Amino acid sequence: MTLKIKRHPGYGRKLTVITLLLTGLATLVGAPLSYAFTATSPSQDTIAVVSSAAKKDLEANSVVKKQTKTPKVAAATPSASRSADCTSAVKTHSGLTAATSPQLKKLVQYERVCVSGIVSQVSFFVPTPTSEQEARDYARDTTAQLREFSTYGISPLVFFEPTTPTGLVSLANYRAGAYDTALDTYFAAIKAAGITDTQMGTWVPLPEGNIPVWTSVHPDDFAACVTKAVTYQKKHFPGSKASVMLDTLSYPGANSWSGGRAVSFLPYVRPIPAGLIDSVGLQGFPWSPAANESGPTNGGPREYLRIDLAAEAARVLHVKDVWLNTGTFGTRYANQSGRQITASTDQRLAQLTGVVAQAGVLQGQGFSVAVHLFAEDKSGVNEATDWSYWKSSNVSTSRDAYVFRIFVHDLQAAGIPLWLFDAGQ
């Protein structure tokens, strides 16, 4: 799934974490659907129930037709058992309005909505150096970002993408060692600048390496490149953290969005040396076809966040920390007339409630779990999807801001940390 994310000034191609949502979703094999989300127009929101026959059709590569029956979902209104108060236990971060990082500046709005602090980690994205000169240049930018996060007491989640300002990094060259000197120089320069192991936070090399957004989806390429990146990271920062993140769907080729399947992550993680990885990330986002178009959906959180795949990978890697990378859209196909779909407040709340439930299942299996929420408005760019819960102009009146508060409250009540990405204005 790719989504292009605005990154630190000076970086080139924007991050991927959902183009699947824009280019189409192949059949989700092996994941029984409990319900499918469809919103047929900006003014008409429905949640479609998938019948047993439709489930079989989907699993046989057939098209799921839109239904009109609407199941009961959690209402976006106060109740005795759920609160709109995020928390009172976490302090806000002072001085964020003076921050340079757009993610930190935007965090001000989130803390105002919740009247408290809400996150334990905030993410940003960095490219991969392929030469010593790039390594030194990138290290300066990364060091500045890491230092600012540390100044405000916020731990970073760093997506280490195989990109440069001129395009994608060849994973074949990466695996063969062509960038070893650059990687070593990069982490050495960050260390020489005074960054500590703690300030490094958690790094995620080759994120979503099982979907066609980089130059290879081969498990051996993924494992070899991740191993190289983390080996050089921990050579200079042995106490820092590293993670792998894979999408619920794995694809057979790097140049096509066809053939995606929910299959075991073991081929991707088993070759990674024991003790190198500290956590496992699982990515999954809701998808629905455009208004008045037929096509499959990917169900609810139980389907697009296949926690069984993450748990299996975590056990093989001998780690106890698992995190979910997800979000909910308010509007999709936002800049495409006649194709727009919208999600109601109740629908978004139901999805986030499902995310908390999935995280709770992992907790019950003995894992320490966090949720990373992508919440930026990307409706004005190629993604044409609004993942946000309010606009700067309606922070105090947005009904979806209430949904966000409920989500934060439910996470904190369950002891599940929230991580965040939003670099929007």
Q: What is the domain-level CATH number for residue 407? A: 3.20.20.80
CA dist 326 and 338 (Å) reads 27
pLDDT tens digits, 253-278? 999 999 999 999 999 999 999 999 99
Please report whether residue 171 resides in a domain.
Answer: yes
pLDDT of residue 283 exceeding 60, the answer is yes
Q: Which pTM does this prediction carry?
A: 0.83
Whole-number Cα distances in Å, 14 to 17, 166, 385: 10, 11, 15
Residue 343, token pair as written in the block: 């999600």
Question: Residue 26 above 60 pLDDT?
Answer: no
Is the residue at 15 inside a domain? no
**Does 337 reside within a domain?**
yes
Task: Please state the domain count of the chain.
Answer: 1
Q: Is residue 393 part of a domain?
A: yes
Q: What is the pLDDT of residue 83?
A: 59
Structure confidence at residue 22 as a pLDDT band (50, 70, 90):
very low
CB-CB neighbours of 231 under 10 Å: 16
Rounded CA separation 245/275 (Å): 16
Which residues, in sequence order, are bridge partners of residue 285? Answer: none
For residue 14, tell me if it sits in a domain.
no
Helices and strands of the chain, counted as H and E runs: 13, 16
Domain with 217, as residue range(s), is 20-421
pLDDT digits (tens, 9 = 90+) for 373-411: 999 999 988 889 999 999 988 888 899 999 999 999 999
- With respect to residue 5, please indicate whether it lies within any of the assigned structural domains: no
pLDDT band for 177, please (50, 70, 90 cuts): very high
* Residue 320 within a domain: yes
- Predicted confidence (pLDDT) at residue 45 exceeds the cutoff of 80: no
Q: Does residue 161 lie within any of the structural domains?
A: yes
List for the chain the helix, strand, coil content (%; round to 5).
35, 15, 50
Which ranges in 318-379 belong to alpha helices (H)?
345-364
Q: What is the DSSP letter of 345?
A: H
